[in-house]
Structure 1
């Protein structure tokens, strides 16, 4: 989607959106390196924050007419699903009865 953004947005919100989206996956990866559940939960929290940042970038782009409502809705809904999954994972990690994941 970001390839279609105007070139004058390339080094501002386009890069920010890409970094935020990448941070979701990177924080999950970093947190899953066999650390404690509490530490993994902290990184999942960072991933959730990055996903919320993606949504904020989408709102700004929609307001600036850089994306249309259809693209906004599709990406927003996908991001919302990711946040729900991350929240469920974080809840499970914080459950004291849940055993640590061994890698």
Structure 2
């Protein structure tokens, strides 16, 4: 088992989730039950799966949950790109969050290699 609070990847994923919740407040109200909800689910899934994996009894199980977290990161990145493509949010507000997704993906890959 790993102490999740000490994992930098988990800390970054928590910050990413908070940034998504803040960003979502800028989305049009008619997206409240569409893209908005999906982005929240994807964002929260990342630190949640890292935490679940860290709490498991083997590195093999941890790797499995890191894989799920990585899939959620790619899902979130796609949804962020859609907000830009649909002109729902200013590109400048979204681009740094996309870069955070990519950084966490790299951290995930490095952690998987370490395990």
Provide the TM-score with structure 1 as the length reference.
Answer: 0.87
Q: Which runs of 4+ in 1 moved over 2 A?
A: none
CA distance in 2, matches of 1:63, 1:4: 15
Q: For structure 1, list consecutive stretches of 5 or more residues without a partner in the other structure.
A: 94-103
Match of 1:25 in 2: 47
Q: Highest Rg: 1 or 2?
A: 1
Match of 1:64 in 2: 86
Query: Number of matched residues?
Result: 93
Q: For structure 2, list consecutive stretches of 5 or more residues without a partner in the other structure.
A: 1-22
Could you tell me which of 62, 83, 89 is aligned with 2:105?
A: 83
Instruction: Encode CA deviations 1:29-80: one digit per residue, 9 max, x unaligned.
Output: 1111142111100000000000001101011111110111112211110111
Could you tell me which of 27, 31, 51 is aligned with 2:73?
A: 51
RMSD over aligned CA atoms reads 0.8
CA distance in 2, matches of 1:27, 1:34: 11
